[in-house]
Structures are given as structure tokens and as C-alpha cells.
Amino acid sequence: MSAITLAMLLTTAAAAPVDFDTDVLPILTKAGCNAASCHGSAAGRGGFKLSLFAGDPAADHTAIVHQLEGRRVNYVHPKSSLLIAKPTWQLDHEGGLRFDFDSPESETLAQWIAEGATRRRLRRLVRLEIEPEELVLAGPGEQVQVNVTAVFDDGSRRAVGHRAVYSPDDSSAVEADGQGALVVRRRGRHVVVVRYLSEVSTVQVTVPLSDEPVDLDSAARSNWIDDEVLAMLKTLRLAPSPPADDATLLRRLRLDLTGRLPTPGEVAEYTADRRADKYARLVDRLLDGDEFVDYWTFRFAALLRLRGGDPPAAHAFHGWIREQIKSNAPLDQMARTLLLAEGDTHEVGPANFYRAAGDARAQAEYTSEVLLGVRLRCANCHNHPLDRWTQDDYHGLAAIFARMERSRIVRLGPRGEVTNPRTGEAAVPRIPGDKYLEADGDGRDDLADWLTQGDNPYFAKAMVNRLWKAMLGRGLIEPTDDLRQTNPATHPRLLARLAEDFVAHGANLRHTLRTIALSATYQRSAVATSAAAADDRFYSHALTKPLEAEVLADAIADVTGIAEKFGEQPKGTRAVTLVDPATPSAALDVLGRCSRQETCETSPGGSGGLTTRLHLMNGALLNARIASDEGRLRQQLAAGRTSDEVVRGFYIRALGRQPRDEEAKYWKTQLAAPSEGERRRRLEDFLWSLLSCQEFTTNH
């Protein structure tokens, strides 16, 4: 009785008319009605289809009011409407009870129907304000309240915490009660996605990893990167590791900038160098060299998914990329050239940008992933459930590419369109999330202008995030092609500063790499302090990176002195200089290369594990090289080197350092053999283990 009285009071009190878009739809979203597993699925559910998370209010209004001969709403007895009877389980409902018959939700829906079930469009949501957006708690178990305010275009503001949907990225770490109260169960940094209508935002909650504050005053600090990284370490109470030693740092930088191991001469020279600025000199020397150009051409070819199907075209594309890297072309200019390229793909390298994808839609996905670092593909069939992207964005971007003719000759054709499945009509060209373009113009100019203007929200961030990952082993945002509001950076301010600095310096690849290399963060040892052993994203110590298949294959060839044979390529060709990623190579098959059919930025599954180990033990990759007469080991034995000299030589080549005393002693004992044949076998076994050990197969 009292419940009914209360409901009546509420109804009377709510004199304001109910708005479909901003009152009714949030109820359906909160109750899960329009989720992908229910009526929001592409095919609907039980004959009733809603747009995913209310992305298309007009369609939802039609579905509710006009479909099924209007039986979903009953103007005479509003509470007998199917719209209310089903979710309150007055009638059988596969989805069960979503809210009570006497609930405020049910009353609001009834009032809306009683008022005529119209779509008044009284107000439009402008943005969500979340307070606080970021907070640091003392320890696990603490509860906090987050306030969510919706701001509408009529100037009104409403607290919508009870209507918003809360999704922690890790539900074992954060519990959300659905009203904005959060309880954090585990230490660390966690993200909760808050959704209200079409807007999504995030709350970032940190519980320090230790109860003891850490002293960072004495921590090494070289530039502003360190300020940001150390600030986070301080919040998290993680102690950073000391700087790496000279030999380690030389090997690390050499591999990151050139994909090669340092030569014995370099190791000797660098470790003996007493100048205070020797590290900065090393950075500059490596950035200026041809080996940098080779390696970063390889990295950009992988990013752009250069494949070898049409060899002359692949060579033209590869040659063009190499020219850009060599001349240090601004990366935004590179992007512009790619977008605007036309011509014979055997001559005009960048025109191959339009042959990397099969059609306009695939081109839209490829372009968004490669140049914007965002994944538009969800928005092909429905508005992106986790981001702002709509079907209009996806098909609008595809429409910009619809006229491209993508055979050997790439050019803008006279016609071409893509159908937007939402409207059933030709999609209007559109810069995603920004603006519509003229239907019959060439939208690529506008797209290139937008992409390369300094305040573009995606391009610079996507690029610096990748460069950061190349150097530090983990993107500030992971995966690196999945930038979105609901996937925030581990260090948002650092990412923003890197992007600003990148833009301010003319999208200069070498400048950003140099800045990162010179930070104390990059130069830290990979040996973690005991408290920070589990840290894999806050840079308290350097992350150990497995060598890429191509780099490892080249390193094995360099150490053993036996080059890999790559298909028909001339002897001595290096894996990182291959144009075609599918060039026949047993070594690359074993070590697991990326075919570039899809992005190479997420680690592929496939081989590896026990299979690879078995091959390294019993296959030809290492065994044939170790025992070859042409190989470095046999040559050294033929030249009469002692076992100690051989060991030292291979340590320098493979690990970039001298053996420590205990190591030298160990090998002396192990390699003392009764016969020359036995000594050779033991040295081969030594070399095998050196090429298999973790210190060799990783960059650390």
C-alpha cells in the first residue's frame, strides 16, 4: 500500500514531462535491455531489436511505439504495456526480471506512455562530468563514492549516478554497486568505465602497492619524462632500479635503434670511453647511421603491413619508406603523402597504401588502426560499444575511400559509394567523430588536413605511443592500435606531453626517439628491486623484451658467422632488410614472424613454446651453424685459439660483455677435455647454450 502511495506521490511530483532520449533510454540501458546479449544484438532478441546501448534513439522509438502493431505501448493502461510488463516479469520474459513493477523505473516508463509516448527531444546530452575522475586510496577495502553529472544542451544538469552503468576493467579488483559506490579490493591502478546514454568516461583508482612511502629524491632524473614516471612511482610507492651498466645500455640501445648487436670493437671502445656525455654521443651516432634506417624501415613496413604479393610494387613501397626514414621526413607529412597518393604502384611507392586493404571498408579499418591507432571495426555493424564511434563514422570514413580504384594503377575514380546499413543509403563521407564532407568531392584532402593538424586528438598520440613501446617494451596505451577513452594510458599526462613535444618538433621521428633514449627511465637496469618485481607497466625497472624473429635471426647469423639463406636473395641479406615478409626462410618460420595480414602490434599466438624449443635443440637452425666448417667456432679452432679466448669472444659478440670471473672459472672447468675432438664438442655445446639462454634471446 505504502509503495503505491509513494509511487503516486513520485508521479505527481514529477510534473516535468518525460523525455524519451534522456529519461526512458537510460532506464533501458541500465537494465541491460539493449546490451549485445539481449535486444541490442544485431538480430535483436525475441523479435524486438533495440540499438546497441541506445546508439540510435530514433530507431528505438520506432521499435517501441510503432512495431508489433503498437502493442508494446498501451495508452489506456500504460502499466499493461509490453514495455513494462516484460521487464517487470508480469509476462513471461526470457531475460527475467529487470526491475520491479512498483519501481521508479516502471513509473517513469508509465508516465511517458501516459503522456503519449512521443519523442520530444527536450534536451541532448552534451557531456558527462565525473567527480572525482582520478583518486588515490590508502589501502584495499576502502569505499569511495563517484558522482556522475549529465550536462544537457538546455543548460540543465542532473545527477545520474543511479542511471549510469559501471564496468570495472578488472571485476576482481573493483566492485561497483551500480549507484556510484566503488570498493577497491586489490592494490594497483584500476579503471572503471562509466556509461550514460552515448557517453562513456572513466574513473581511475589507485591503491599504492606498499604502505611505506618511497624516497625518490635520489632517483636519477634526466628530462621531463622522468618527472612524470617518478611521480607515478611515488603515488604507487614503487622504488625504481638504479641505472644499467655501460655494456647493458650499449646493447639495449643498439638493438632498439638498429636491431643489431654491438660489435666487439664498439663494446671495447664504449666501455673504455671516459667522457661524461658518451651516452648522448652514442644515441646521436646510432640515430645518424644507415643501420638505423634499415631497421626503422623494417618497423614502418611492418606497421604499414607491406606485403610482397606484387614484387615491383612492394619494392617501390619499401624504397619510398626507406627514403622517408633516411631523410627524416616528418611523420605527419608521410601520412599525408600516403593518403593522397595516386599512380602506378610499381613506380609510386606510397600509392600502395591503397592496395594494403581490399575495399573501402577494409581501407577505413586499416587507416584508422595504422594512422589513428583506433579500432573502428566494431562500428561496421553497430555503434562502438566502448567508444564514441558510430556506424556513420565508420561508413563515412569508408565513403571517403569509396572512389579509389585499387589495382596496379591507384587513382580516384569517377564514382563509388558504400552503403550505410543503418540508413540503407549511400554513406555520407565523414571525418570520424568530426564532420561530414561534401558527398561528391575528394574527401582525402580534408582527411589529411584534419589528421596532420597539430591538435588532432589521435595521430600524434598513436605515433608516440608506438615509439614509446619500441623503446620501453610496453605502450602507455595497450594495445597500441586501441586508443579510446575507455582504455586510458597508464601515464595520461606523459602521453599528452610526448604528443605535444612530437608536434612541437615537427613530427620528428629521431627527435622523439632521442628524447626517450636520454631519459633516466629508459636507462634503468632491468633488475627489479624486490618490491617491484611484479611491475610490468610503471617503469620502475627496464622491461625485458624478447628479440623479434627477424632481429634474433640476424643476431644468430652474426654470432655464428653463418648467414641465413632467404629465398632467392643474395648471400648475406639480413632479415630486417627483406622486402617481402613471406620470403622463404627456415629460421624465420621457427622463430615466428609476422605475416602482416593483420596488425603485427599484438603478440601472435601460433608456434613458440615447446615446438620452438624442440627445434632449437634438434633442428638445423642452431646445430648446422654451430658445427659448420665456415662458422666462427670452427674457424677459431682452426686458428688455434684457446678455449678461454673462444669463450670470451663469443660472450662479447652475443652478450656484449666480458664473462664475469665466476663464469670464466666455470667454463674453464667444463671445457677442459681429454681430446681435441671432445674439446670441440664441448665448445659447440657451450655455443649452443649461449645462443639459447635468456640473456641472448632478449633485450634487457
User: Which residues bind to another protein, rule: CB under 8 A?
Assistant: 36-37, 41, 43, 169-170, 172-173, 186, 188, 478-479, 482, 487, 526-530, 533-534, 536, 602, 604-620, 623, 627, 660, 662-663, 666, 670, 681-682, 685-686, 688-690, 692-695
Min CB(114)–another protein separation in Å: 33
Edge-to-edge order in the sheet of strand 125-131 = 125-131, 147-152, 157-159
Nearer to another protein, 327 or 530 (CB): 530
Residue 565: name the closest of 584, 551, 589 by CA: 584
- Alpha carbon distance 252, 258 (integer Å): 10
Distance CA 39, CA 622 (A): 57
How far apart, in whole angstroms, are the C-alpha atoms of residue 322 and residue 329?
A: 10
Query: In whole angstroms, how close is the CB of 487 to another protein at the nearest point?
Result: 7
Q: Is 202 helix (H, G, I), strand (E, B) or coil?
A: strand
CA dist., res. 230 & res. 221, Å (int): 9
**Nearest-approach distance from CB 623 to another protein, in angstroms:** 4
Q: Compute the least distance from the CB of residue 444 to another protein, in Å.
A: 30
Nearer to another protein, 37 or 218 (CB): 37
Residue closer to another protein (CB basis): 408 or 682 = 682
Q: Output the smallest distance, CB 306 to another protein, in A.
A: 21
Least distance from C-beta 662 to another protein, angstroms?
7
Of residues 219 and 655, the one with the C-beta less far from another protein: 655
Q: Which is nearer to another protein, 22 or 465 (CB)?
A: 465
Q: CA 17, CA 6: separation in Å to the nearest integer?
A: 19
* 44, 48, 194 from 60: Cα distances, Å: 11, 10, 22
Q: How far is the CB of 594 from another protein (least distance, A)?
A: 12
Output 410 or 472, the one with its CB closest to another protein.
472
Which CB, 65 or 594, lies closer to another protein? Answer: 594
- Minimum distance from residue 167 beta carbon to another protein (Å): 10
Q: Which is nearer to another protein, 67 or 618 (CB)?
A: 618
Query: 661 by DSSP, 3-state: which?
Result: helix
Q: Rounded to whole angstroms, how far apart are CA atoms 264 and 651?
A: 9
Cβ distance to another protein smaller for residue 340 or 527: 527
664 residue type, one letter: A
Q: Tell me the closest approach of the beta carbon of residue 224 to another protein, in angstroms.
A: 28
Instruction: Report how far residue 260's alpha carbon sits from residue 255's, in angstroms, rounded to the nearest whole number.
Output: 5
> CB burial class (10 A; 0-12, 13-18, 19+) of residue 291?
middle
Considering beta carbons, is residue 299 or 700 the nearer one to another protein? 700
Query: Closer to another protein at the Cβ: 280 or 386?
Result: 386
Cβ nearer to another protein, comparing 125 with 588: 588
**CA–CA separation, 402 vs 202, rounded Å?**
35
Residue 155 DSSP SS3: coil
Residues 6+ apart with CB under 8 A from 283: 253, 257, 514, 517, 518
The span from the CA of 28 to the CA of 52, in Å, is 11
Paired sense of beta strands 188-196 and 199-207, if any: antiparallel
Q: How far is the CB of 691 from another protein (least distance, A)?
A: 10
Min dist. Cβ of residue 255 to another protein (A) = 17
- In this complex, which beta carbon is closest to another protein, that of residue 104 or of residue 608? 608
Terminal CA-CA length for the chain: 71
- CB of 168: closest distance to another protein in angstroms? 10
Three-class SS state of 425: strand
- Cβ at position 652, least distance to another protein in Å: 15
Residue 445 cell numbers, joined: 584532402
User: Own/partner pairs for 282-288, CB < 8 Å, 24+ apart?
Assistant: 282/250, 282/253, 283/253, 283/257, 283/514, 283/517, 283/518, 284/514, 286/253, 286/254, 286/257, 286/258, 287/257, 287/510, 287/513, 287/514
Do the bridges between strand 165-168 and strand 134-136 make them parallel or antiparallel, or are there none, so unpaired? unpaired
H or E element at residue 230: helix 224-236
In the numeric block, the cell 489506456 is attached to 76
